[in-house]
Amino acid sequence: MRTVFWEDNSVKMIDQRRLPNALEILTCQTHAQVAHAITDMAIRGAPAIGVAAAFGLALAARESSARTPDDLLADLRAASTLLLSSRPTAVNLAWAVNKVLRFTFSESETLSTQALRERILSEAQRLADEDVDINQRMARHGADLIADGDTVIHHCNTGALAAVDWGTALGVIRMAHEQGKRVHVLVDETRPRLQGARLTAWELEQYGISYEIISDNMAGHFLKTRQVQKVFFGADRVAANGDVANKIGTYMLSLAAHDNDVPAYAVVPTSTIDLSLATGDLIPIEERDADEVLGLEFHGERVAPVNAKARNPAFDVTPNRLISAIVTDNGIVRPPYHLNLSIILH
């Protein structure tokens, strides 16, 4: 099943807030509902939110009562502003929205408003189908990095749930498994929202891949004691110099990997590479509600004191010097990233 899809004039998505306890489908009938689903993380993961936003624009086109292509474009631009504000860090969101807007603009001279509505939906559908192809290509490139018998640490959730299907770093692990390699995954639980413990563990069970959940602060121990051969994660945005913004905790994990000469690989579709930003310092970092940190319960009781305050940056930036290679759908990129990323994109 795909994570996000179009059916019965609606955008449907696996509600990731309910996993692993229930597999439920959330139906969105307006672009505002899609924007809310992204903000509230019913759907999450950089490629998945990009495709959801593209489908959101297809909904916006149907919601619009515009009678001319210009009026339709104005309504789409307003819908884009809402969709783009739903989460700031993953560049895939802006990439997908801008693709649909540019496509609509280029067709608006020749098509009727009704034909445009149909073409916007087929463009969103094309992006969804393309995402699956891209992820499979990435998975094949990345699987070459995994040797039979490897134990790897994986951070956050980067699997089918984070994309339309297959995913990024977890797609690589799944491909290596399907190629017959024995892989064991140490799954970072990924505080505060526990995407690893909830979503990655659930996916690995579906694929029959061997795994154990570790709390994030255990990674250094397993790396230092030589129990791990590689580290894999995805990214929400890669700057032109190869700095990688990804789920909070990626930086500490990469530092520990580097200190122990264990390679750390970022796996990203080319749509995640943002050459307009020279370094990772320019990437906007989303700060989410403190309740995601403070709401944790242990044995049925809240952990933090009632009046506690908390900080909650959802992402961090790992400097390029800690990234051994960046796996993309166009191949594996190695340093110097400021040269090789632009080569792979052209």
Pairing label, strands 244-247, 315-318? antiparallel
The least distance separating ligand MRU from the CB of residue 305, rounded to whole angstroms, comes to: 26
The least distance separating ligand MRU from the CB of residue 226, rounded to whole angstroms, comes to: 26
Cβ nearer to ligand MRU, comparing 73 with 93: 93
Residue type at position 113: T
Cβ nearer to ligand MRU, comparing 241 with 246: 246
Cβ nearer to ligand MRU, comparing 73 with 253: 253
Dist. CA 271–CA 328, nearest whole Å: 9
Residues in the chain: 346
Query: Nearest residue by C-beta to ligand MRU?
Result: 234
Dist. CA 181–CA 265, nearest whole Å: 18
- The structure tokens listed for 111 are 């098509």
Peptide bond into 20 cis (omega under 30): yes
Cβ nearer to ligand MRU, comparing 18 with 62: 18
CB of 290 closer than 8 Å to CB of 311:
yes
Q: Is residue 165 flagged as an active site residue?
A: no
The least distance separating ligand MRU from the CB of residue 346, rounded to whole angstroms, comes to: 23
The least distance separating ligand MRU from the CB of residue 308, rounded to whole angstroms, comes to: 22
Dist. CA 12–CA 10, nearest whole Å: 6
Closest to 154 measured CA to CA, from 142, 170, 177, 138: 170
Which residue out of 165, 188, 216, 236 is catalytically annotated? 236
Dist. CA 111–CA 79, nearest whole Å: 21
The least distance separating ligand MRU from the CB of residue 98, rounded to whole angstroms, comes to: 18
Cβ nearer to ligand MRU, comparing 108 with 200: 200
The count of C-alpha atoms lying within 13 angstroms of the C-alpha of 286, restricted to the half-sphere facing its C-beta, is 22
The least distance separating ligand MRU from the CB of residue 318, rounded to whole angstroms, comes to: 12
- The structure tokens listed for 184 are 């064991």
Dist. CA 45–CA 287, nearest whole Å: 16
Contact residues for ligand MRU (CB under 6 A)?
Answer: 44-47, 90, 156, 158, 162-163, 167-168, 195, 233-236, 246-247, 314
- The structure tokens listed for 276 are 């307009």
Q: Which residues contact 36 (CB under 8 A, 6 or more apart)?
A: 86
Cβ nearer to ligand MRU, comparing 28 with 90: 90
| Residues carrying an active site annotation | 236
